Amino acid sequence: MLQVQNLEVVYDDVMLVLRGVSVAVPPGGIVALLGANGAGKTTLLRAITGLLDVHDGEVTKGSVTLDGEPVHHLRPAALVRRGICQVMEGRRIFAELTVEENLRIGGHTSPRTIKARMEDVLTLFPVLAERRRRTAGYLSGGEQQMLAMGRALMAEPRYLLLDEPSLGLAPRLVEQVRGLIVEINKRGTGVLLVEQNATMALSIAAHGYVLETGKVVLDKPADQLLADEDIREFYLGLT
């Protein structure tokens, strides 16, 4: 179980951005983390993956634990070895490298051969197989999103953290990314899905959290969040 407990995060020593947030991702589950711009979703992911200090942020209270062991002080590479991988917002692929080279970079930590894992990832993402020797910077936005997900999967994570994977994608591609998340999850990977697209996220998540100005204001099974008219309107912006 990946657990965030009572987490408090401060930027620049003064700005309190997370105020006692608790979130749990069970092994093999999909959990949605929703909330408006600036609610603190990306900050929560940074806290899990040890990337806060790059942004002058700091955990001032609470903990992030993996199977009971604290992990929020680990460097990102050490976390990947423990099975936690993040796909950041904006994809962050290596634009000058080919698709295949990008995938190889993601694959140095798992015991299975890179070749075997590359075959799995290319089977899951046929579009990457077709373009495996193409320079990544020339891929479309949707293809780059898939490459970023494929690269994270090369490490065979137990938990995958996705920051707005549907951002900027056409509806057809959002549908495709949604299907891929389901498929990845079926293979046993737990997913923490940060999304503005509440409908998409809650359609595949078992559980959802809604963050508002650094606090969890809702913590419920996904079907209950979707079924409640008030929640749909006031928190999810759905009608």
Nearer to ligand ATP by C-beta: 12 or 130? 12
Integer Cα distance of 45 and 15 in angstroms: 17
Task: Check residue 55 for interaction with ligand ATP (CB under 6 A).
Answer: yes
Task: Check residue 94 for interaction with ligand ATP (CB under 6 A).
Answer: no
Task: Check residue 50 for interaction with ligand ATP (CB under 6 A).
Answer: no
Specify whether the CB–CB gap between 40 and 21 falls below 8 A.
yes
* Binder of ligand ATP out of 25, 29, 31, 35 (CB under 6 A): 35
Task: Check residue 43 for interaction with ligand ATP (CB under 6 A).
Answer: yes
Task: Check residue 239 for interaction with ligand ATP (CB under 6 A).
Answer: no
Smallest gap from residue 9 Cβ to ligand ATP (A) = 8
Integer Cα distance of 1 and 83 in angstroms: 11
DSSP 128-169: HHHTTTSBGGGS-HHHHHHHHHHHHHTT--SEEEEE-TTTT-
Integer Cα distance of 228 and 214 in angstroms: 23
Task: Check residue 53 for interaction with ligand ATP (CB under 6 A).
Answer: no
Task: Check residue 41 for interaction with ligand ATP (CB under 6 A).
Answer: yes
Nearer to ligand ATP by C-beta: 18 or 181? 18
Residues that contact ligand ATP, how many (by CB under 6 A): 15
Nearer to ligand ATP by C-beta: 41 or 207? 41
Instruction: State the helix-helix crossing angle for 99-106 and 114-124, rounded to 10 degrees.
Output: 120
Cα separation of the two ends of the chain: 34
Taking residue 35's Cβ as centre, other Cβ atoms within 10 Å add up to: 25
Nearer to ligand ATP by C-beta: 45 or 160? 45
Smallest gap from residue 199 Cβ to ligand ATP (A) = 16
* 3-class secondary structure, 116: helix
Task: Check residue 37 for interaction with ligand ATP (CB under 6 A).
Answer: yes
Pick the stretch among 8-16, 66-74, 80-88, 99-107 that binds ligand ATP (CB under 6 A): 8-16
Phi, psi of 87 (to 5 degrees): -110, 110
Task: Check residue 165 for interaction with ligand ATP (CB under 6 A).
Answer: no
Task: Give whole-number Cα distances, 216 to 33, 121, 209, in Å.
Answer: 10, 35, 7
Q: Using CB under 6 A as the criterion, which residues of the chain lie in contact with ligand ATP when the complex forms?
A: 11-12, 15, 17, 35, 37-43, 55-57
